[in-house]
């Protein structure tokens, strides 16, 4: 069982002891007994089901079909109830702890703490919280399965070679194929990308989520991109490294036409463009701390760098770190993913999300002359199988030498 789920069990046990103490010491005669008792039974029943579900889900074999039609829907149910348990426990404990202080609430306020008859009892409030949490989780899960948003971003570079004016780059990231998406998702995303008629396709990591041999499933869907004039390139992400066989993944992806750059630079034969691909260290985040070694980009360690002078320089990396180094290297464009746009965003303020605790840059477009950094929301989810606010996206980037007003305002939800 994962440390996260062990922590949930610990919090649940603490909540049980707290509830027992408050029930015996502070409840009598102050809160509607039947309402709180019903809520208490409901919370415990749901927690018991969630605990059993944790045990079962962790034993599902690594198969994309089972994950898609059993694991992810069930995991959505589980974490919807984890959210609900937090809200329900707060309402339940609050109704007990505050009853002696509030007594009968002032007229006009919700009758949550009244001991006698009331229209909205503790049970009613908890039931409404259950509907909201379940609805939000499955809405996020349903949107996750739908078409990706196409984010159209224009990148201005004064020194852009004339032959690259209007060049279209499709930016894809974070497929999480296996645990986070299935074969139909993969085909649908690549068909959607091909329909944008790009000149170049770049993938910024986390293509797989489970085992490296799943990379063979990319072969047929990648044929949708065979007509891309300048080719399809990418880098590995941390979840690709977690498969334990990144070399095997790279080999299998190459058979499908996807060239993975691993700490190497390549100059495209048909256009004055140099791609610099940085490998991912595979470091695991601890308490929302990013890879400390990834704060810098060591261009000196890149094989084939810097490439022909005058080429348009594109940096490709999974984690969005090292923008200062990219700017010092005179990179024109820096493409990254990893953050999923936070996966959960606050309404009307997309850059305030859970990943702001880990990364300085989390979503959208940033500019540090002469480099434009674009961070993709990605296409699938990780950890939790749903998104709220940070919807899946495909980036369509158009290069131009003409000035663009407010470059950092582009690419936001």
Q: CA-to-CA distance for 224 and 219, rounded, in angstroms?
A: 10
Is cis: bond before 10, omega within 30 of 0?
no
Residue 384: give the domain boundaries: 150-409
Q: CA-to-CA distance for 321 and 361, rounded, in angstroms?
A: 8
Q: CA-to-CA distance for 121 and 115, rounded, in angstroms?
A: 9
Q: CA-to-CA distance for 302 and 279, rounded, in angstroms?
A: 10
My answer on whether 135 and 244 are in the same domain is: no
H helices then E strands: how many in the chain?
11, 16
My answer on whether 211 and 306 are in the same domain is: yes
My answer on whether 276 and 292 are in the same domain is: yes
My answer on whether 72 and 161 are in the same domain is: no
My answer on whether 340 and 218 are in the same domain is: yes
My answer on whether 138 and 188 are in the same domain is: no
Domain CATH for 256: 3.60.21
My answer on whether 210 and 116 are in the same domain is: no
My answer on whether 7 and 61 are in the same domain is: yes
The SS3 call for residue 282 is coil
> CB of 396 within 8 A of CB of 166?
no
My answer on whether 288 and 381 are in the same domain is: yes
CA 133 to chain centre: 19
* pTM for this prediction: 0.80
My answer on whether 136 and 250 are in the same domain is: no
Pick the last residue of a domain from 94, 123, 142.
142
Is cis: bond before 370, omega within 30 of 0?
yes
pLDDT of amino acid 209: 85
> CB of 389 within 8 A of CB of 345?
yes
Pick the last residue of a domain from 76, 108, 142.
142
pLDDT of amino acid 363: 87
The SS3 call for residue 201 is strand
pLDDT in tens, the chain (413 residues): 555 556 656 656 665 565 555 555 544 444 445 555 665 666 666 666 666 666 666 666 666 666 666 777 777 777 777 777 677 767 766 666 665 555 554 444 344 444 444 445 666 677 777 788 888 888 888 877 778 999 999 999 988 999 999 999 999 999 999 888 888 889 999 999 999 999 999 999 999 987 888 899 999 999 999 999 999 999 999 999 988 899 999 999 998 899 999 999 999 999 999 999 999 987 765 444 555 555 788 898 899 888 899 999 999 999 999 999 999 999 999 999 999 988 887 776 766 777 877 788 888 899 998 999 999 999 988 877 888 888 899 999 999 999 876 655 554 44
Q: Hey, how many other C-beta atoms are within 10 angstroms of the C-beta on 168?
A: 18
My answer on whether 169 and 252 are in the same domain is: yes
Say how many domains are in the chain: 2
CA 115 to chain centre: 44
Backbone angles phi, psi at 393, to 5 degrees: -145, 150
Pick the last residue of a domain from 90, 125, 142.
142
My answer on whether 184 and 230 are in the same domain is: yes
């Amino acid at each position: 069982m994962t440390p996260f789920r062990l922590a949930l069990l610990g919090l649940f046990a603490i909540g049980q002891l707290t509830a027992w103490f408050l029930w015996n010491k502070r409840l009598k005669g102050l809160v509607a007994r039947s309402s709180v008792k019903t809520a208490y039974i409901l919370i415990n029943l749901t927690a018991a089901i969630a605990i059993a579900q944790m045990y079962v889900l962790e034993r599902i074999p690594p198969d994309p079909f089972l994950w898609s039609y059993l694991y992810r829907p069930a995991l959505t149910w589980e974490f919807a109830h984890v959210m609900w348990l937090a809200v329900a426990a707060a309402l339940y404990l609050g109704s007990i702890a505050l009853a002696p202080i509030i007594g009968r609430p002032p007229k006009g306020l919700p009758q949550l703490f009244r001991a006698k008859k009331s229209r909205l009892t503790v049970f009613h409030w908890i039931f409404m919280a259950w509907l909201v949490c379940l609805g939000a989780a499955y809405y996020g899960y349903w949107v996750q399965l739908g078409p990706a948003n196409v984010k159209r971003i224009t990148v201005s570079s004064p020194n852009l070679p004339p032959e690259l004016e209007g060049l279209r780059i499709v930016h894809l990231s974070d497929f999480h194929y296996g645990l986070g998406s299935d074969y139909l998702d993969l085909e649908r995303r690549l068909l959607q990308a091909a329909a944008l008629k790009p000149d170049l396709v770049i993938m910024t990591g986390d293509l797989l989520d489970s085992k490296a041999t799943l990379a063979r499933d990319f072969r047929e869907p990648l044929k949708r991109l065979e007509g891309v004039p300048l080719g399809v390139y990418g880098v590995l992400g941390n979840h690709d490294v977690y498969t334990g066989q990144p070399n095997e993944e790279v080999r299998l992806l190459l058979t499908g036409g996807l060239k993975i750059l691993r700490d190497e630079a390549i100059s495209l034969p048909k256009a004055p463009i140099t791609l610099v691909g940085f490998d991912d260290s595979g470091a695991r985040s601890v308490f929302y701390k990013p890879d400390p070694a990834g704060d810098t980009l060591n261009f000196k360690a890149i094989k084939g760098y810097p490439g022909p002078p005058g080429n348009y320089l594109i940096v490709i990396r999974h984690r969005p770190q090292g923008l200062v180094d990219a700017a010092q290297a005179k990179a024109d464009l820096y493409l990254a993913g990893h953050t999923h746009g936070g996966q959960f965003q606050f309404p009307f303020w997309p850059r305030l999300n859970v990943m702001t605790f880990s990364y300085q840059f989390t979503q959208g477009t940033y500019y540090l002359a002469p480099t434009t950094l674009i961070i993709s929301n990605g296409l699938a989810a990780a950890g939790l199988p749903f998104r709220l606010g940070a919807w899946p996206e495909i980036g369509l980037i158009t290069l131009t030498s003409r000035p663009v007003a407010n470059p950092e305002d582009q690419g936001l939800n």
